[in-house]
Chains A and B, each alone.
Chain A
Amino acid sequence: MNETGVPIVEAQGIYKRFGELEVLCGIDLKVSKGEVVALIGPSGSGKSTLLRSINVLERIDRGSIAIDGSPMVQETQGKAQYVSDTELRRMRRKMGMVFQNFNLFPHMSVLENVMVAPVQVLGRSKREAEEKAMDLLGKVGLLDKATNYPYEISGGQKQRVAIARALAMDPELLCFDEPTSALDPELTGEVLKTMQDLARERMTMLVVTHEIGFARDVADRVVFMDRGVVVEEGTSREVLSAPSHPRLKAFLGLVDR
């Protein structure tokens, strides 16, 4: 873990409501480079919303978020003020996102899915992008599926393509929003293994997950959220093996079997 460097994500005092519902009630979160952080908690605890806020898929109401040391949103006079759209797009490139429902582009082959953003956004040549895409597909074990379309492959394979697509942009942080929740149990293993490989390479990851086993084995740090606040956080050993808060104890008793 890199304790001295600038954190890749530093969120402070995040508030977010959907209508009447306060989803995030003053959240602080810090992710250091090279660290794997698991965000766990019951449904509706706000963990996905927090992840989506960091990726600017949701806009927060109050609080501040800095990405790699530069402010993305800051609070002025009690309201969150974002940097310009161009600046946001530039900062977003540092972050990759893997969705629960994969969100692959159905009209593009597996290879095109991985190539499109480097070509369009980074202005890489097709040849260069293809080389890198094939490399990444090899890494996630899907070289033989390069010319297939998403509808032709399994859910686990789709999610690995989604991981390759995110990696193609050379992100400094990879976010996962319940990456195995839409998968049949027998397919979750291959996705978790891919993520484990990434963790071993010191990829910085922020993972919203229900897989307590993954959090225990792979995450450096675990953050437990409930009802819009961080209830407990620490090393995975501290949080998962010796939980102190009753709500966390209840949660672990509920999901860990």
Chain B
Amino acid sequence: MVGGLSVTVGLFAITLVFSIPLGVLVAGLRMSKNQLLSNLTKLYIWIFRGTPLILQVVFFYYGLPNLGIRLDPFPTAAMAFVINYTAYFAEIFRGGIQSIDRGQHEAADVLGMTKAQTMMRIILPQAFKRVLPAVGNEAITLVKDSALVYVISLSDLLRVVTVASIRDFTVTPFFVAAVLYLLMTFVLEQVLAYVEARFSYYE
């Protein structure tokens, strides 16, 4: 059970740590004036938001070896999750960035700030605050999506309890799993509430 929990939590943590910064980066590429970059990014987002995550996980697991890339199940799952969640986060961040008033760009402009300074100091800090609820939503979904790795025989929480349930002829393990998922999302909600409170010092 502890092993299953650590796979779930590990996958959750790795996905968030990588896909949030990558999401900001991809959002930037998506808004790029370079049409090629912007269109390639659109294509990537379309593919990874437009197909089931479970399909992507299976595809990476069975497909990559055909390309000569052999990875253990966990890195394979982590890769698929990061690529998938980055696509979602990119669109969330793009929405956040574009929701910031034009006047903020203009004010930074006339003060002589560079585009990078404007982004880092003025736009992103405000955009982050606005997208926090949406990011929190994704994070909660991610806890539960992690159960999908079950299909590539990774021993996450769901797989561990399923095995236990079959072995012992009882559904109790599923209740235990449900309680554990609820506990994880409860803790996560507290963290999110704390972060939102930290950002609520203005307006």
Contact = CB atoms under 8 A, between A and B. Distances in A.
B176 to A, nearest CB: 44
Interface string B183-203: 000000000000000000111
Contact of A107 (B106, B114, B117, B202): B202
Interface string B38-70: 000000000000000000000000000000000
> Interface size bucket, A side?
20 to 34
Contacts of A96: 110
A39 to B, nearest CB: 17
Contacts of B121: 116, 120
Interface string A97-117: 101010111110000000011
Given A55-B110, A93-B112, A165-B111, A149 B202 contact: yes
A95 interface: yes
A57 B106 contact: yes
A121 interface: yes
A107 B106 CA distance: 16
A106 B103 CA distance: 12
Interface string B99-119: 001011011011111100100
A99 to B, nearest CB: 6
Interface stretch (B73-81, B122-130, B149-157): B122-130
Contacts of B106: 57, 97, 99, 103
Interface residues of B, number: 20
Contacts of A149: 201-203
Contacts of A165: 111
Contact of B111 (A57, A101, A151, A169): A169
A107 B112 contact: no
A147 B77 CA distance: 48
Given A106-B202, A120-B117, A121-B117, A57 B110 contact: yes
A89 interface: yes
A170 B111 CA distance: 11
Interface string B125-148: 110010000000000000000000
Given A107-B126, A116-B121, A169 B112 contact: yes
A103 B107 contact: yes
Interface in A96-152: 96-97, 99, 101, 103-107, 116-117, 120-121, 149-151
Nearest to B106: A57
Nearest to B103: A103
Contacts of B201: 149
Contact of B104 (A56, A57, A103): A103
Nearest to A118: B111
Nearest to A57: B106
Contact of B107 (A99, A107, A120, A121): A99
B169 to A, nearest CB: 58
A95 B110 contact: yes
A106 B107 contact: no
Contacts of A17: none
A212 B113 CA distance: 34
Interface string A36-57: 0000000000000000000111
A92 interface: yes
B104 A105 contact: yes
Contacts of B203: 106, 149, 151
B202 A101 contact: no
A230 to B, nearest CB: 24
A149 B117 CA distance: 21
14 contacts: A57-B109, A57-B110, A89-B112, A92-B109, A92-B110, A92-B112, A103-B107, A105-B107, A107-B202, A117-B111, A121-B117, A149-B201, A149-B203, A151-B203
Given A57-B109, A104-B107, 9 more contacts: A90-B112, A92-B112, A93-B112, A95-B110, A103-B101, A103-B106, A105-B122, A106-B203, A166-B111
